[in-house]
Structure 1
Amino acid sequence: MSVPSIFIGCAGWSLPREYWPSFPKQGTHLQRYAHHLNGVEINSSFYRPHQRQTYARWAESVADGFRFCVKMPKSISHERRLRDCEPELDAFLEQCSGLGDRLGCLLLQLPPSLVFDESLAEAFFIALRQRYSGAVVLEPRHESWAAAELLLMAYRIAQAVVDPSRISTDAAPHGWPNVRYWRLHGSPRIYYSPYGSAYLKTLAGDLRVAAVDGVDTWCILDNTASGAAIGNALELRRILAHG
């Protein structure tokens, strides 16, 4: 990669058969994936816990420069809805600590129905920051979170850039500026549509600008349902590598 602080990857490391020729034949899916891409978003942690030793095994199977982003459990975001979830936080953070220094950031995706409540959000961010000092990325999906900018800055929480955009503040970076995170779901058909070369070239320019001061910059392709994410990630990596 031409810019070391840009992490390119997908939501998960499954490799569609059509892309197998682009990856090594030997190794686990993760090892083969990590041969060409330097970041991944673990989404399965949203649905179920993984043991600490599982995370440690994943970390041991990738190179030093590879980073994982781990999605926080739905028990925190969707069931507890950020309220009184310290036990869930403790369990999750203990588990994903198995990644060691390959843990790049945590992703907190909120349900579309969760309205911004400053006191509730601040209480959650305090509990989180008492336990974890690393990078955190928020993907809010209710328009009321447009009012959260100062709170995000205070607790060093970055807001994801999202496509397709869902609220007025997710089409460009917001929140804490020392992490930038693009989360691209596919457009016009969410989770399916591939992104064209023109879009990816513009995106590459945006990523370079975001990373110019050494800020860790992520781009995760979540258009995985038809396998488009891997192809888009590989093309984006080539564009970045060749200027």
Structure 2
Amino acid sequence: MSNSIRIGTSGWTYPTWRGVFYPQGLNQRLELEHIGRLFNSVEINATFYRLQSPETFRRWHAGTPEGFVFAVKGSRFITHRKQLGDVETALANFLASGVLLLGRKLGPFLWQLPERTRFDRDRLARFLDRLPADMEGAARLARGCTGIVEGRSWTEAVAPGTLRHALEVRHPSFQTPDFLDLLRERRVALVSSDAPGWPRFDMLTADFAYARLHGAEELYASGYSEAALDGWAGRIRGWNAGGARAAFVYFDNDARVHAPFDALSLAGRFAGTASPA
């Protein structure tokens, strides 16, 4: 599969997967290594719930093969508690928690807004303008961290490179051209979020696409049929043809262990795809 197409799961530490997707008796510390043998990317879920540590990011980096990429889910303290406002310190602490140690394996940041959040152009624009565009910019922001990460922070870039950001929204008020224009101006990808009851956007607003498949019929629980996966494969090809240099697709329908198998099935539709020159 081409490295321009990244397919994996949202998170990987789920007890229900053990003995079903993960081999019976596999040590929990080896689950990420197992993921890395089967997929070329995974979305880090844990960063949403709490600040991690540099040692954790080092371990994740070391436990995956060369060329593997992590998408990093932004802190819910920023998106849900602070509602994107007055986030300078929170953003600095998040970036200082060790994210930069992923180096060349650092993929896009995912910023997921709660379902109750309505479109507020000025508030969103201020937040997007604070997001770092590259590794050095992220390191500078991280140096503004506070004592909450004292003794367990990392504030230096270990690899050069630009940074990508993707935004997932769930309120119908975002269905407006003004919102799409704002994302295009900031080169932020609009997540194509597949779930019952949430608006789904399939349009490109950046040079990459990002999709999260939560279960089309039952949130976090229902699996995807072969026909549905064929449809998503077609969408991915359409995004690439439409100018997306990369596509990141993560399955979040983990409750009944559908996510890893659906991800494998979708990835199989791109097996043998040549890597870009």
**Residue-by-residue CA offset, 1:42-80 (whole Å, 9 max, x unaligned):** 111111110122112201221121111111111100100
Query: Which has the higher mean CA deviation after the structures are superposed, 43-52 or 127-136?
Result: 127-136
Equivalent residue of 2:22, what SS? helix
Query: Is structure 2 residue 114 aligned with structure 1 residue 111?
Result: yes
Quote how far apart the aligned CAs of 1:19 are: 2.4
Instruction: State the match for 1:74 in structure 2.
Output: 76
Question: Please, which of 128, 131, 148 is the counterpart of residue 131 of structure 2?
Answer: 128
Task: Kindly indicate whether the alpha-carbon contact (under 8 Å) linking 2:193 and 2:211 is maintained by their aligned counterparts in 1.
Answer: yes
Q: Which runs of 5+ in 2 are unaligned?
A: 139-161
What does 1:6-25 align with in structure 2 at a 5 Å threshold?
Answer: 6-14=5-13, 15-20=17-22
Corresponding residue of 1:181: 210
Contact 1:111–1:141 under 8 Å retained in 2: yes
Q: Secondary structure at the match of 1:40?
A: strand
* C-alpha distance 235-16 of structure 1, shift in aligned 2 (>3 A): farther
Select the residue among 47, 63, 66 that pairs with 2:65: 63
Answer whether contact 2:195 2:217 (CA < 8 A) is retained.
yes
Structure 1 residues 229, 167: closer, same or farther in 2, change over 3 A? closer
For residues 139-218 of structure 1, the aligned pairs below 5 Å read 139-147=168-176, 148-164=179-195, 166-168=197-199, 170-176=200-206, 178-212=207-241, 215-218=245-248
Residues 171-216 of structure 1: CA distance to partner in whole angstroms, max 9, x if unpaired? 413422x110110001211101110111112211221232345611
Contact kept in structure 2, 1:54 and 1:98, CA below 8 Å = no
Q: Secondary structure at the match of 2:127?
A: helix
1:61-103 CA deviation, whole Å, 9 max, x = no partner?
A: 2112111111111110010000001111011112211211111
- Are the counterparts in 2 of residues 223 and 229 from structure 1 also a CA contact under 8 Å? yes
The question of whether the paired residues in 2 share the 8 Å contact of 1:68 and 1:104 is answered with: yes
Task: Give the aligned length.
Answer: 239
Point out where structure 1 has 5 or more consecutive residues left out of the alignment: none
The structure whose Rg is larger is: 2
- Of 208-217 and 104-113, deviating more is 208-217
- Please tell me whether the aligned partners of residues 252 and 259 of structure 2 are also in contact (alpha carbons under 8 angstroms): yes
Q: Hey, what's the Cα distance between the residues in 1 that align with 2:214 and 2:42?
A: 14
Report the CA distance shift for 1:128/1:171 in structure 2 as closer, same or farther (over 3 A). closer
Asked whether the equivalents of residues 207 and 217 of structure 1 are also in contact (C-alpha less than 8 Å), the reply is yes
Aligned to 1:224: 254
Question: d(CA) in 1 for partners of 2:33 and 2:58?
Answer: 14
The 3-state SS of whatever aligns with 1:175 is coil
Gap change, CA 1:171 and 1:150, over 3 Å in 2 = closer
**Once the 2 structures are TM-superposed, how far is the Cα of residue 27 of structure 1 from its aligned partner?**
7.0
Aligned residue identity for 1:9: G
* TM-score, scaled relative to structure 2: 0.80
Is the Cα contact below 8 Å between 1:193 and 1:228 reproduced in 2? yes
Would you say the 8 A contact 1:56–1:100 is kept in 2?
Answer: no
Q: Which amino acid aligns with 1:12?
A: G
Deviations 1:118-144 (A, max 9, x none): 111111111113744511110011122
Letter in 1 for 2:63: S
User: Aligned-pair RMSD on alpha carbons?
Assistant: 2.2
Q: Alignment partner of 2:67: what SS?
A: coil
Using the size of structure 1 for normalisation, the TM-score is 0.90
- Structure 2: distance between partners of 1:197 and 1:25: 32
**Aligned twin of 2:104:** 101
